[in-house]
Amino acid sequence: MGLVAAAETGPLEFARAFGYGIGGAESNVAIGAARLGAPVTWIGRVGSDATGDMIERRLRAEGVRTVVVRDPGFTGLMVKHRRFGSTLSVDYHRAGSAGSRLSPDDLPAGCVETAGVLHVTGITPALSRSAHDAVFHAVERARAAGVPVSVDVNYRRKLWSPDEARPVLRRLVALADAVFAGVEEARLVLGPDGAGTAAELVGPLSELGPAQAVIKDGARGCTARIDGTGYRLAALPVTAVDPVGAGDAFVAGYLAELLAGECAEQRLRTAIAAGAYAVSVPGDCEGLPRRTELAALTGAEDVVR
């Protein structure tokens, strides 16, 4: 999506300065993993407009291989502003957009079958029936080819209701090898069984199918159950400037290390560090770190000469 962000805090109608860039969970993960050295392919549909041009150029500039279908419709848009304090409001303009017309036919032969990991989110199935079918078609192809499937629940209440989302997200999680969710997202997927803390939710979430279940818990870090072993890592202390995209950075860090063959604890440590970088900079993907920056976070100085 295109991303319009108001520069000042206050009612959107009085904002006079705006930034314009790209957003979207899948794009954020693609850029984040590519910056950490993973080979990444992004598959999607964008409009035949300036925003679509910008998205394709930005992804390619980040080293992401793009399989782009150009649609005669418009590219989706996200509008972000702070009404007061640190509270962010995000509005989506996606109904009828190019991305909402994603379909199973948009996935080229062999693109899924040759992947190291297929990553999808719970956002895409909410956009339309054809987008829903495209996600599950990709997942089925991956499973048939023995390609691990990664799912970030990424529930968006402005796109669909909990009752609409729960059965779809639950089915998606059950087909996954790795699942990422926030605490409330885990409760949503688990339904009546979804009470408790992150530590109490991660086991039942894993029991739905994924051998790797990770609950992203913001400033409290993360809780995971990976191949039967439990993990709990604290967040790194940073000044949060913009929380949007932190979860995507976390997933990018985890998947990059998974593809690199790193152990579970290292995957989580990199994920935590990537999330810390992301929240420290305005924008969805601007603050995503590169390998050379990860180690510098815990010992950062005020001035680096």
Q: What domains appear along the chain, each with residue ranges and CATH number? A: 25-50+107-290 (3.40.1190.20)
pLDDT of residue 61: 96
Ranking 10-19, 47-56, 205-214 by mean pLDDT, the lowest is 10-19
For the stretch 107-119, pLDDT in tens is 999 999 999 999 9
Per residue in 189-207, pLDDT (tens digit) is: 999 877 889 999 999 999 9
Residues 6+ apart with CB under 8 A from 9: 82, 83, 84, 85
Q: Kindly write down the DSSP assignment for every residue of 183-226, as one continuous string.
A: HHHHHHHHGGG--S-HHHHHHHHHHTS-SEEEEE-GGG-EEEEE
H-helix or E-strand spanning residue 165: helix 162-174
Q: Which pLDDT score, from 0 to 100, does residue 302 have?
A: 42
Q: What is the pLDDT of residue 192?
A: 83
pTM given for the model: 0.91
**What percentage of the chain has pLDDT greater than the value 70?**
92
Render pLDDT for 104-149 as a digit per residue (tens, 0 to 9). 999 999 999 999 999 999 999 999 999 999 999 999 999 999 999 9
Question: 114-133 in b/e burial notation, b at 16+ Cβ within 10 A?
Answer: ebebbbbbbbbbbbbeebbe
What pLDDT is stored for residue 244 in this prediction? 66
Question: Active-site residue numbers?
Answer: 248
Q: What is the pLDDT of residues 230-251, one digit of tens each?
A: 999 998 877 666 666 688 999 9
Give the DSSP H/E element, type plus range, for residue 135. helix 129-145
